[in-house]
Amino acid sequence: MKTIVLTFTMLILLSISSFTQESGKRVGFELNSGASMAIKKIDGASLNPGFGFEGIFHYRLMPHLGIYTGWGWNRFGADESFAGNDVCYEETGYVLGINFKYFIVDSKLAYYVRAGALYNHIETENANGDIVNDTKHGLGYQVAVGIDIPFGKGWSLTPGLKFNNLSRETAWEGLSKTINYQYLSARVGIMKRF
């Protein structure tokens, strides 16, 4: 706990003592998308490579520290699983977190680190696209790192890596199942700051 408090305090102090290259632009909107790779099996079922996207609003509180919130969707298919053959798992829901952004010396490029809480659910769909199970919403977390590459007035490209973790309990044919939905995503985003 002391380490978390110390790290958070250091980030705030760095943000306060630093200068920003975007002094007038506090609000931004980002759309990102990309491929996902499951890190864990779901109840013994291997997941195929997936795909997802997010829409995120950003608000800069201090030169290097901000908050973000948004909505996201990610989908994995599975050839065989407890829910049958040729099913897919879709995670949808909300994210709220903090964003730390720091400019690379003598450059307009910046790196970012994000950490957020998820409020998501996982739907299981059969081969016909019918929802056969829904875990209901619950808490998880997300961490991300990447680079912010400006390319025009208020526009940036935001490639990065993101890790999502969501564990939900559900009932399937009278049995309790735990779905541990963990994946790594390579995302490319575009952001507009206002």
Q: What is the pLDDT of residues 63-116, one digit of tens each?
A: 999 999 999 999 998 887 766 778 899 999 999 999 999 999 888 899 999 999
User: Rounded to whole angstroms, how far apart are CA atoms 68 and 100?
Assistant: 10
Say what the pLDDT of residue 15 is. 47
User: Rounded to whole angstroms, how far apart are CA atoms 124 and 96?
Assistant: 24
3-state SS string over 16-73?
Answer: HHCCCCCCCCCEEEEEEEEEEEECCCECCECCCCEEEEEEEEEEECCCCEEEEEEEEE
Report the SS3 class of residue 80: strand
Say what the pLDDT of residue 54 is. 97
What tokens appear for 116 in the block? 């957020």
Of 72, 74, 79, which Cα lies nearest the Cα of 47? 79
User: Rounded to whole angstroms, how far apart are CA atoms 80 and 46?
Assistant: 8
Higher pLDDT, 41 or 95: 95
Other Cβ atoms less than 10 A from the Cβ of 15: the count is: 19
22: pLDDT confidence band, cut at 50, 70 and 90?
very low
Say what the pLDDT of residue 57 is. 98
Q: Which fold is adopted by the domain 2-193? A: Porin (2.40.160)
Instruction: Please answer whether residues 80 and 87 qualify as being in contact, where contact means their C-beta atoms are separated by less than 8 angstroms.
Output: no
Which has the minimum average pLDDT: 22-36, 45-59, 67-81, 168-182?
A: 168-182
The full set of domain ranges for the chain reads 2-193
Q: What is the pTM of this model?
A: 0.83
Is pLDDT above 80 for 26?
yes
User: Rounded to whole angstroms, how far apart are CA atoms 56 and 186?
Assistant: 16
Give the mean model confidence (pLDDT) for residues 42-63: 92
User: Rounded to whole angstroms, how far apart are CA atoms 31 and 84?
Assistant: 33
Give the mean model confidence (pLDDT) for residues 18-29: 67
User: Rounded to whole angstroms, how far apart are CA atoms 165 and 142?
Assistant: 6
